[in-house]
Amino acid sequence: MRILHVINSLDPKQGGPPKITACIASAQAALGHDVTILTEATPGRESHVRTLLDMVPGIDRVNIISEPRAAGWRWFADSTKKRVAQDAVSAADVVHLHNVWDLILVAVGKACRQQGKPYLILLNGMLDPWCLGQKALKKRLALALVYRKLYNGAAALHLGNEHERELIRPLGLTTPGSIIPNGVFEEDLRDLPPKGTFYKLHPELKDRPFILFMSRLHYKKGLDYLADAFAVFAEADRDTQLVVAGPEEGAGPAFRQQLEALGVADRVHVIGPIQGEEKRGALVDAACFCLPSRQEGFSVAITEAIGHGVPAVVTEGCHFPEVQTEGAGLVLPLDAKKIGQALIRVMSDPGLRQQMSQKGRELAIQRYTWPKIAAQTLQVYESFLNH
């Protein structure tokens, strides 16, 4: 099968979608399919994109077309850009679009409809009420004028979980949804760095246990709740530290001010984005993972954490109930006191952490590995092609 994936950027600064795109594509190529990614270059960020791709097993099997970034409506007004979209679609049997608000997707979707090629759109949670409430007027206008046609013209919407199906129902989209989660590569869970690797890179931790937050420093990720929750936790635990790893997306300064006001700044280490062995080392050494997000589609960070055996404390907005139902951690309302109490419960009980660690690894390996996810996407594609 000839598969085309389309995303506006593979820059890891964009969060989970670039990695999800690369991982699905690589896993599909490993199953013997002809896979291409069409994307736009991000000037000055080439090394970061390369670092991301180098961490995806088998990405060399995937053909990557990186076009110069197009401003505004050039994907429609520029004959060269239109030809790129048309040619890429013409060479594919099925097209998989990633994200929802980018004009490259509109151009490729239009080419698909003109050529009678089926396409799937991975929403990444971006059409749920919380996300639509951010810059709400702009998104309502864009949906009405441009994007509703793109979404309704798809063969299916790629949803991360059942919650997402219910959350987008009020939009009245006519396209059916297919639930396909995200995953991890099982080889990334083997041959892990030895315990203590992350501590050696960060001697400021002084070998004390730490809770790990690993995501963008964005308002959506609930850093304000994390600060308050850690303050609650710190009253009961005088030793454990908090490590905050991820690229700055606007929420960092307020988070640091909040930590200072709460009197816990000396126990919190904001270290910026981490990748490769440093990231794997952090997951090996972390005692607990915490993501108090306001909203997630299907969090890669949570999947990686439980896959590495890190007990997880997450919020209901992450839409990952299996963390609790399968015993890999706890799922809480977006309430700082309850999150703090959950952290106390997990960190005060080594036996519980060990049990959660085992359950989390089992859950990730049994349900959420990229080859399994790739197989699910192929079943969906085949249903379009057969129809």
Angle between helix axes 79-90 and 103-115 (nearest 10 degrees) is: 50
pLDDT, the chain, mean = 94
Q: Does domain 186-367 have CATH number 3.90.230.10?
A: no
Classify domain 2-183+369-386 by CATH number. 3.40.50.2000
At residue 94, φ and ψ (nearest 5 deg) are -145, 150
pLDDT per residue as tens digits for the range 272-281: 999 888 999 9
pTM: 0.89
pLDDT per residue as tens digits for the range 292-331: 999 998 899 999 999 999 999 999 999 999 999 999 999 9
Domains 2-183+369-386 and 186-367 share a fold: yes
Least confident of 62-76, 123-137, 331-345, 352-366: 62-76
Q: Which residues of 278-310 are buried (b: 16+ CB within 10 A; e: fewer)?
A: bbbbbbbbbbbbbbbbbbbbbbbbbbbbbbbbb
- Enumerate the domain spans of the chain: 2-183+369-386, 186-367
Fill in the amino acid letter for 228: D
The angle formed by the CA atoms of residues 237, 238 and 240, to the nearest 5 degrees, is: 75
Does the pLDDT at position 72 exceed 80? no
pLDDT value at position 89?
97
Higher pLDDT, residue 77 or 116: 116
The C-alpha atoms of residue 17 and residue 80 are separated, in whole angstroms, by 26
Give the residue carrying structure tokens 């001697």.
203
What is the length of the chain?
387
